[in-house]
Amino acid sequence: MPQRTVRLTMAQALVRYLCNQFINIDENRAPLFAGVFGIFGHGNVTCLSEALESVQDQLPTWRGQNEQSMALAAIAYAKARRRRQIMIATSSIGPGAANMVTAAGTAHANRLPVLLIAGDTFASRLPDPVLQQVEHFNDPTVTVNDAFRAVTRYWDRITLPQQIITSLPQAIAAMLDPADCGPAFIGLPQDTQEIAFDYPEVFFEPTLWSIPRPRPDRARLAAAATLLKSAKKPLIISGGGVRYSLAEAEVATFALDRGIPMVETIAGKGAVTHDHPAHAGPIGIVGSTSANALAAEADVILAIGTRLQDFTTGSWTAFRKDAKFISINTARFDATKHRALAVVGDALETVAELEAALGDWTADKALLPHAQALFVDWNKTLDEHQALSNAPIPTYAQVVGILNRSAKPNDTLIAAAGGTPGEVAKGWRVKNPNTFDCEFGFSCMGYEIAAGWGHAMAKAGDGTPIVMLGDGTYMMMNSDIYSTVLTGHKMIVVVCDNGGYAVINRLQQAKGVPGFNNLLKDCRVKEAFPVDFVKHAESMGALARRCASLADLEAAMDWAQTTDRTTLITIVTDAHAWVPGDADWDVGVPEVSTRESVQKARASQIEIRKKQRVGV
């Protein structure tokens, strides 16, 4: 019996296939692809947009203002949905595609899925060079889209219409694989999009996907149980993988039942509420004194779902050199770092099996009370720094405290770059799980407002995104304030105006270099005048208010919770006041300098490096 076929252009077939992909979420069938962020140009407007227009009620298309920001919004959507639904971002060729490369890097570093579809030059090459084509004299196959190879988990260029039959399932499988999760890229040459092909009807049959949960190797699990039982002062580091595995409750219960303190990475923050009895705070360079003290004491560290980046490990100075690591991770690459006992498997399933393997073992009964006492001291430190005062310039900590108290339980705090991540990682007290998003894997300036749009879509009214950012980041990417007003996705944006790039100025001066080209007053400018963020936001249709004091900020947050659209609040903040608790950080400091301040910083950096564990 001949196979039944349907004749479609490649672009039409691609869209029909995507519309027929579903995912199992809590035993309910939901569309795998929730929508498309798109900016159309000559590489995707004539064919791909024709296909998307016909299914806009099934697969909604949202027009972005910038290719990078719309892809960042797609990433935030996936994060809010804990990698269980995916957004698509599409651009034209050339600069539109190149704009999405930064977003691809953000998704890649954070292990988050997004499907990036960009137009490409002609497969036939007959019209070459086309508008926006970058020509490589010795390799005519190279286009701007090859830049995505370095920042995607899956990359393909469709030069024949039938290639999508094998390519699209592989792209989806990569994005849903917890060990290999990240962005997928599909390049679509303009002439290939238009070609009609007789596609087999079976290709478009509805497909129900689910997230695999790989089980750990029995021998590795047994070794992990033996090593953990030998610990005198064990410590759990809870990473982002705990959240994406939906293992928050199991890991927290495991920590409490076994008497092991639980600290969190930046990506892992929000797995438990701030006041959970096993929780001892954030660890690392932007961590708490409580978590970092426990890390320095620990002899066995159970790292769950973390890639152990330098902000978690204090550039590998935060731990005893003889400490042993057990690393539970779906990714072999992450699990194997720093001579860890690698237990490759899903966090939820592996913790459950480890629980069974431990029998009646528990940690020393004094360990958890010790951690709780350290955490009480840390909370006192936060209280002191967040306390209201009549100081002429409010601090970040005071602003964080007010926003935190004003936030409703399901409101999500969003931050990414500058001084904000350290202050919210330390000072934001999570009220409900999965209500905190600090993008610090790539530390992408410009993520914040775009992410607010993505979170607002994903939350669908169940809480409001609260975006906290500095004036420097606001100036870099703010156009999705307009997007949220247009589409009705409300968020609250709080701009801390500290006169430039304050946190990098802090690092610069801490390493002996005078303030230079970071704060506006230290830049080559005619006049360092402030931006009127209120007028700017209002010009994009948002509501806005400027605050002159902390009391004003409290009132403004109360007001912002009642508004019917995106609302911006701005307040001048101190560029030099920070919450303590930091671990060491290894950065490059000039080996030779005539500045005494740099020489001292170099000597200090050498001492930091002496603390580092030797590993890979």
The span from the CA of 612 to the CA of 284, in Å, is: 13
The span from the CA of 503 to the CA of 470, in Å, is: 10
Work out whether the CA dihedral 597, 598, 603, 608 comes out positive or negative: positive
3-class SS string, 251-296: HHHHHHHHCCCEEECCCCCCCCCCCCCCEEEECCCCCCHHHHHHHH
In terms of Cβ atoms closer than 10 Å to its own Cβ (0-12, 13-18, 19+), residue 45 is: middle
Q: Please choose, from the candidates 54, 24, 18, 2, the residue with its C-alpha nearest in 3D space to the C-alpha of residue 206.
A: 18
The span from the CA of 447 to the CA of 427, in Å, is: 20
Cα 514 to Cα 504, 521, 522, 577, distances in angstroms: 12, 12, 9, 17
The span from the CA of 68 to the CA of 478, in Å, is: 12
Which stretches of the chain drop beneath a pLDDT of 70? 615-616
pLDDT in the model for residue 390: 84
Residue 495: both structure tokens together: 């701009």
Q: Please choose, from the candidates 390, 386, 399, 392, the residue with its C-alpha nearest in 3D space to the C-alpha of residue 571.
A: 399
Q: What angle do CA 239, 81, 15 make, to 5 degrees?
A: 130
The span from the CA of 26 to the CA of 459, in Å, is: 17
Q: Please choose, from the candidates 32, 185, 52, the residue with its C-alpha nearest in 3D space to the C-alpha of residue 115.
A: 185
Cβ neighbour number for residue 581 with a 10 Å cutoff: 26
End-to-end alpha-carbon separation of the chain, Å? 58
pLDDT in the model for residue 615: 66
Q: Are 435 and 411 a contacting pair, CB within 8 Å? A: yes
Query: Where do the domains of the chain lie, and which CATH numbers do they carry?
Result: 5-209 (3.40.50.970), 218-374 (3.40.50.1220), 387-572 (3.40.50.970)
Query: pLDDT per residue over 275-334, tens digit each?
Result: 999 999 999 999 999 999 999 999 999 999 999 999 999 999 999 999 999 999 999 999
pLDDT in the model for residue 126: 94
pLDDT in the model for residue 233: 98
Half-sphere exposure of 448 (CA within 13 A, CB side): 30
Q: Are 524 and 531 a contacting pair, CB within 8 Å? A: no
The single-letter DSSP state of residue 438 is E
pLDDT in the model for residue 391: 85
The single-letter DSSP state of residue 32 is S
pLDDT in the model for residue 616: 53
Structural element, H or E, at residue 119: strand 115-120
Distance of CA 116 to the CA centre of its chain: 17
